[in-house]
Every structure is written in structure tokens, then in C-alpha cells.
Structure 1
């Protein structure tokens, strides 16, 4: 029973308490890539801890006495290990369905979200074939729309799209800055991060971790793309371009240069802050890497 209490406490800590703290952490905006990794680690930790908590609530206590080998043996992941009793009964198999559902639920939503995003991108690609005009000098497709907007369609048939309004409103330097922002999204495969957080939020609706992870990841990947653009372009150029395209709406499954949290990003671009100390970064990275394994140590009594 102590193990169950510890695991449930860990689930509450990861799913409720830590997300509120991480969403307000000052270092996150100074190291957005590290912050994204931290959110991904929290989601993985929540799934692992919840799975083990449900397992201990559903399975007889003796299955955990053989440590991690016994746990994996009962789950059918290890063969040839000493059994703690007779072969698993129907009740054992049914009980294993509960913890398995904790893993399969977000996995199923991930597949569904990926398929829906693929369909949305394909529909928009078909539309671009009809109304878009190639602009090889920019590596983009131009559409005749008066509202300034720049966005990318990620995936296998990736495409950067610029409206005619953006071409008219932006200077050459500003246009190149936002195009670099979009290339960063494509090269970094940021759409995968959106898919993971979207699936997690749908699998666990109402969970603070799900809400904060989705909101913060959307903002952080825009900051990562901003940083990539700033390698080649001046801050004032990118900031001016962001202001011009901030009001532009982008289609579903696309990532836009206006993006999430434009005002927060604009302030960050114009008032740069130093990266966290190396020791701080290493500590956060170590905590992110070890957090998913702590519930395993608790569950196995190691």
C-alpha cells in the first residue's frame, strides 16, 4: 500500500504541481529547447507513473516482490525468469488491461491526431496546387491574399507559403527573416512536438500538465524558430516582420511566423536575456532524463 501511495503522490506532483512551476520558470524562455525537453519528460513521467500506480492497484502485491524482472515477467516482456506463483489467471490478464490502457490511450490519440493533421495538410496542398504561384527565389509558394501571413506546411511534402500581402508589406530583409523562421520549423520537425502535446491533452483532458504542456510547447517552438532566424538576421528586422504578420491567420496543421504569444516573443527578441548557467542547464537535463525512471525504482522497491 505504501508503494501505491508513493506512486499516486508522484503522479499528482508531476501532473499538477510541477507544471504550474515550470510554466512560470524564468529560465524556460532563455533556453526554449531545454524547456521543450522538460515538458516532454514530464509527459513521459506522468504516463510511466500512472501506469505503475494503476498496475499496483490492479495486480496482487506478490507480483511486485521479484523486483523489475518480476514486473516485466508478469507483463510478458521477459521470459525464463522465475515466476512468483502459478500461471497468470484471467483475472490477472484483465487487470493488466487497466495499466495497458494508460499507455495505449495517448498512443491511440497520437495516431489519430497524426492522421487528421496529415489529411488537413494534404487538403491545403491540393488547394495550393490550384491557387499558389511558385517563387523559387524564396523557396516558397505565393498566394494572392491581401492579409500579410507567412507559414509552413510540415511533413513529407513540406511547403513554405507567403501571401501577396506579406510580399508587399515586408522589406527584403524582413521577408528573409520570417522565411528563415519557417525553415527552422520544418528542419526542426516542430510539428511532431505539436502532435505529441495535442495527443496528450486529448488523452488526459483537464489535467494541468496537459494544458500547460500544449500551451508552453506551442510558444517555445516559436521561440526556437526565432532564435534560428536571429542567427542570420538583426533583432529589429525580425521584430518588425513579426509585427507585420502577427495578425495573419494560418490554416490547420500549419505553423505561422506570427505564431503563438507574439507579444511575449517580440519582447524576448528585442530584450535578449543570457542563457541559464551551464550547471543549471545540466541539472535540468539530468532531472528530465531521470524523472521517468524514479517511479520504476519506487514500484520495484529498489
Structure 2
């Protein structure tokens, strides 16, 4: 059973390494429901990592048993292999260990580096910012460029530049603040972290860069949607779109690494989406996408454990 399981996991890993991310990054429906699309991207990343490590592990342990639990227990208890152990088995086990350490290590390193960078920027900013009249939880930074960003973490910081306050009216400024609050409230930096690590661990894989870019775009669209739900005024969509355009003019200066900014990604696509909103995803399609994400996460687990049943 294990050779067939390893082959099935390898096929799944290959699909999730290129065709599926390429398709998901190309289709248009994610813009209709960014939150559902973010769930699907997380499922692709997690299932892909589990599939490739699982395929290597299952192939490497095949001489010790007919299922992964049986073979793993045999190795842990020091039992001899029932079948000859070839070089490809040792190679697969080595690759599985190396890939697991690399993926988890890069994830931990990315988290530590990003947290350290954000902490350093927060400490520096706290020396120069002052309370902003625009919002009680915002801080004002004397900077001529129109910039707005938030630094997530245990002590989040929402920063507006004096240039931004000067160029926007009250409604537009409220839209910017609502966008940044959405990033902080939904912890969008955590959605991005696995894909930052994936791109760093596998830089030769085009799908890794594609996935990172797609998720960055989707978290900005999701923040736009959540901001719209809190805004008043006659045309909150156009108000937010105008604020994004203004912020895009100053996005090149003043936004620190590790921050989430209102003009951080896909400005043109977001403005078009706000001005001419696409129809919402139908409930049936939404449920189908979430079901597919759940099944995708379940598939490698079932393949790994099914031979033991």
C-alpha cells in the first residue's frame, strides 16, 4: 500500500506546486470574495507542504511496514525492516527531514525577523509620532508624503502622515483609518507569513512568488471590504478609492518593512473593484469553495492514514 500512497501524495504535491496555484492566481472569482479566496490559498499551502513531505516519508518508510503508523512505530521501536532498505529509501527519508526542517525553520526565521523589524520600527516611530486628531487610536507622523500604514503585533501601531491628513478630507481619512483597522482586527499579517516563508524556502518555484503576490492583493481587498462595512457617506466606495489613489502617490516613501499600508498592493485592481464592484459570490459557490478547501486539507491526511485502516 505504501508505494501507491507515496505516488498519490507525489501527484497531489505536484498539482499543488504549480497547476493549482497558477489557476487560482489567474481566475477572477477571488476578487468577489477575498476572504474565501484567502482560506483556499491557506489550504493550498498547507496541503502542498504536507503532501510533498508525506510522499517522501511514506516512500522512505515503505520497507518497515504496510502503513505509515505501522512503519513509523517499527522504526521508533527499533524493529528491523521487513523488506530490503535501498538507497532511494534513505534518500527519501533524508529529503523529508531536510525539507521539514527547512520549511519550519524558514517559517520560524521569517516570523522572528519580521517581528524584530516591526519592533524596531515601532520603537523608532514612538519617539517621533504624536496623537492624531483623525482617530483616537492613530498616531501622526510629520512627513510630507501622503502615507498611512499599520504595524501589527502585540502593541499595534496605526500611523498617518501629516501629508496624508493634509490631502484628504474627513470622509477619505476615515476610510483610510478603517482600512488599517481592518488589517489589525483580522491579523492579516498572519495570512501573509506562510507565503513569505514559502517564497523564501523555495525561491526557484514560480508558484511561490505567485501565491505571495496573490495573497498580498487579497488581504488588501479584504481590508477594503471590511472598511466599507463601517463607512457612511453618500458613496463610501468612491471615497475609499480616492483615498487609495492619493496614498499610492506617497507609497514609495515612509512605509517601513513589515507594515501593512493602504496602498500596499494592487492599487489599480482595487480601485477598479471599488468603483465598479463585481457581483458577490453566490452562497452556493462560496460553500463549494470552502468545502473544496476543507477537502484539500483533508486529502493528504487521509492518504497518509488510510492504509492503516
Same structural fold, with TM-score higher than 0.5 when normalized by the shorter chain:
yes
Q: Deviations along 1:238-274, whole A, 9 cap, x unmatched? A: 0111111012231100000111000000000111122
Q: What residue number does 1:293 align with?
A: 298
1:218 matched to which residue of 2? 216
* Contact 1:109–1:202 (CA under 8 A) maintained in structure 2: yes
1:49 aligns with 2:46: no
Q: What's the CA shift for 1:70? A: 1.7
When residues 256 and 58 of structure 1 are mapped into structure 2, their CA distance, relative to the original with a 3 A threshold, is same
Match of 1:124 among 121, 137, 141: 121
Task: Give per-residue Cα distances to partners, 1:52-94, cap 9 Å, x unaligned.
Answer: 211133233442x1x3532553575xx9xxx7868xx9x9899
Kept in 2: contact 1:146–1:165 (CA 8 A): yes
- TM-score, length of structure 2 as denominator length: 0.87
Choose the corresponding residue for 2:36, options 34, 37, 51.
Answer: 34
Partner in structure 2 of residue 5 of structure 1? 7
**Cα distance in 1 between the residues matched to 2:12 and 2:98:** 19
Counterpart Cα distance in 1 of 2:99 and 2:171? 49
Give CA deviations for 1:142-167 in whole Å, capped at 9, x if unaligned. Answer: 11111101000100110100111001
1:63-212 aligned at under 5 Å gives the runs 63=65, 65=66, 67-74=67-74, 96-135=93-132, 138=135, 139-212=137-210
Decide whether the 8 Å contact of 1:4 with 1:57 is kept in 2: yes
Counterpart for residue 20 of structure 2: 18
How far apart, in 1, do the equivalents of 2:150 and 2:184 lie?
7
| Structure 2 unpaired stretches of 5+ | none
Residues of 2 paired with 1:46 and 1:84: CA distance? 31
Q: 1:70 touches 1:84 (CA, 8 Å); kept in 2?
A: no
Superposed CA RMSD in Å reads 2.4
- Which one of the candidate residues 242, 254, 263 is aligned to 1:258? 263
- In 1, Cα distance between equivalents of 2:116 and 2:298: 36
What are the superposed Cα offsets for residues 35-62 of structure 1, whole Å, 9 maximum, x if unpaired? 1111111111111110121113323344
Q: What is the TM-score when the length of structure 1 is the normalising length?
A: 0.88
Cα distance in 2 for residues equivalent to 1:167 and 1:275:
33
Matches within 5 A, 1:222-241: 222-233=220-231, 234-241=236-243
How many residues end up aligned between the 2 structures? 292
Secondary structure of the corresponding residue to residue 150 of structure 2 = strand
SS class of match (1:151): strand
- Which ranges in structure 1 are unaligned for 5 or more consecutive residues? none
SS for the counterpart of 1:275 is coil
**SS in structure 2 opposite 1:100?**
helix
